[in-house]
Amino acid sequence: MVLVSRNSEKDGAANDGSMVDFRGNPIDKSRTGGWLAAGLILVTELSERICVMGISMNLVTYLVGNLHLTSAKSATIVTNFMGTLNLLGLLGGFVADAKLGRYLTVLLSATITALGITLLTIATSIPRMRPPACEGNQECIEATGSQLVLLYAALYLTALGGGGIKSNVSGFGSDQFDSSDPKEEKSMIFFFNRFYFGISIGSLFAVLVLVYIQDNVGRGLGYGISAGAVVIALIVLLLGTPFYRFKKPRGSPLTMIWRVIFLAWKKRVHPYPSHPSLLNQYQEAKIPHTERLKCLDKAAILDEYAASEENRSNPWIVSTVTQVEEVKLVFMLLPIWSTCILFWTVYSQMTTFTIEQATFMNRKVSSFEIPSGSFSAFLFITILLFTSLNEQLFVPLARKITKSPQGLTSLQRVGIGLFFSVAAMITSAIVEKQRRKIAVDQNTKIRAFWLVPQYFLVGAGEAFVYVGQLEFFIREAPERMKSMSTGLFLSTISMGFYVSSLLVTVVDKVTHKSWLRSHLNNARLDNFYLLLAALGTVNFLVFLAFAMRHQYKGQQHNNTDDSGKELKNSNDMIVEDMEKIRIEAKEGP
């Protein structure tokens, strides 16, 4: 077994010529990268977050109140928009890895986002793009297809641009720090902390300021401010071009995955070799061979045709053991991937039905009426709170209990978040049942602050799930697939919103529109929340089964040197390195 030195890998990453300046020359660390470059890049993500949250957290009130669409249809439009935005993160990652690189992909995506949000400003400002206002007891006229065309075009252009930004901006920002330099590696830890903090601040601004402007001044002005923010971010991104470090695109890992699967199928009738060492480039493998998903090993079989010198290096004729093991790692992520989806289905309710609940509740504080969408601020405040508590309280406490330097593993974080999501839906059902009972029996609106517990539980859950998922997919994915693993993480969010759309459609049909009516006092939204709680409980149990069986990368085998002495596995080494960085970070840069 060939062991690769971690130091040599770092040196290779730093000196392989993949990092250049904007002229294509080798980077000068004194003039490029660092906090200046990373900070300029963060402005782009901040503007994207302002746009997306400014749309998603208040769009449902516009669709129901101004376009007179049903609650079910409005919720589906919002969740499909958010699902598409996150799913297009995979496309953005593919384009960046395969051809354009992260900088050009972010630049192009931000331009598309600016165009989309500008069209949304126009669509919500032109009176003929809305049906006439409701009069008296007459039935409201629903918006027609022609009135929705511009709205849909605006939303999905914004989704296309936002997906490209989300999948690349964090990676582009981290490219400004050299992981082989201890000082810059420490700064990279601060970058990710500030990145997550920054997007949460952007979300808070959107739900507190933009939502108020949209409801009380005008939708056009609210979305116009978002468009202006993206344009400013574009100018900042362009001005920072001379200061950036650029990583050359090396081709998409999706192509490699497809090749391995294709070759394994093509050679499915070939017998397995007597020993794995007979597989292509077994001795040179950067990832040790494993027995899991053995069917993929056939892609690396050296038959008579593939064994020739001219063919064994052709990836379309035979794969290497490294490539096969990288694909195995990706496949091992899928069980956890599938059980993370339902959390984001629960989360999507915070952007649709929970906001609609607020419109049927007493939102006044003295003479001021809080906009329905602004109650989402409690969600983001909770996220910020628990993000801080995770590092200051929960993780140190877990270290003392488990005697592990890592404290909480990534899957333990995800499990805690899934539990919170089930509790959130049970709480939501109780609050909605009580709200409806008082509204119908006493003709009284209860205080909208009764929604805070469900926002709190979902926000706490996101603080655990988001960090846990991101850490899991980035750590467990092969080194060359870090961008794709971010896209895989975003796709769980996407699928969560799509599952919400599917559930709403199915429930609306099965219950003959009795659960999800536009007037919530005549609906049974509490039953829908209980359905989500039941599905979440089953999903949580399935997750536990998968998590208990999962072996973290580096734990599937014991590394031994030539003398037979057991070496530390790579996961332990990562934990030790992260612990050292964390200790240094506490001491300041």
**Residue of higher predicted confidence among 482 and 539:** 539
Predicted local confidence at residue 372, as pLDDT: 84
What's the rounded mean pLDDT across residues 21-38?
Answer: 82
Q: How many CA atoms lie within 13 A of 384 on its CB side?
A: 16
Q: Which tokens belong to 346?
A: 């629960």
**171 CB-side CA count, 13 A:** 30
Domain 326-575, CATH 1.20.1250.20 — does that match? yes
Q: Supply the pLDDT for residue 542.
A: 95
What is the chain's mean pLDDT, rounded?
81
Instruction: Name the helix (H) or strand (E) containing 19.
Output: strand 19-20
In angstroms, rounded to a whole number, what is the distance separating the alpha carbons of residues 220 and 124?
Answer: 6
Q: Give the model's pLDDT for residue 572.
A: 43
How confident is the model over 211-233, as pLDDT tens digits? 889 888 888 888 999 999 999 99
Instruction: Give the range among 108-112, 120-124, 222-226, 486-490 with minimum mean pLDDT.
Output: 486-490
Q: How many CA atoms lie within 13 A of 40 on its CB side?
A: 21
What is the rounded distance in angstroms from the CA atom of residue 296 to the CA atom of residue 481? 18
Residue-range domain boundaries for the chain: 19-132+142-251, 260-319, 326-575
Specify whether the CB–CB gap between 257 and 94 falls below 8 A: no
More confident residue, 217 or 570: 217
> Tell me: the pLDDT tens digits for 305-359?
777 777 777 888 888 888 888 888 888 888 999 999 999 999 988 888 888 888 8
- CATH architecture of the domain formed by 19-132+142-251: Up-down Bundle (1.20)
- % of the chain exceeding 90 in pLDDT: 22
Comparing 104 with 252, the larger pLDDT belongs to 104
* Model pLDDT, residue 8: 35
pTM above 0.85, yes or no: no
pLDDT in tens, 498-514: 899 899 889 988 988 88
The answer to whether the 19-132+142-251 and 326-575 domains have the same CATH topology is yes
Q: With a cut of 70, say whether residue 560 has pLDDT above it.
A: no
Q: Which two tokens stand for residue 353?
A: 């039905």
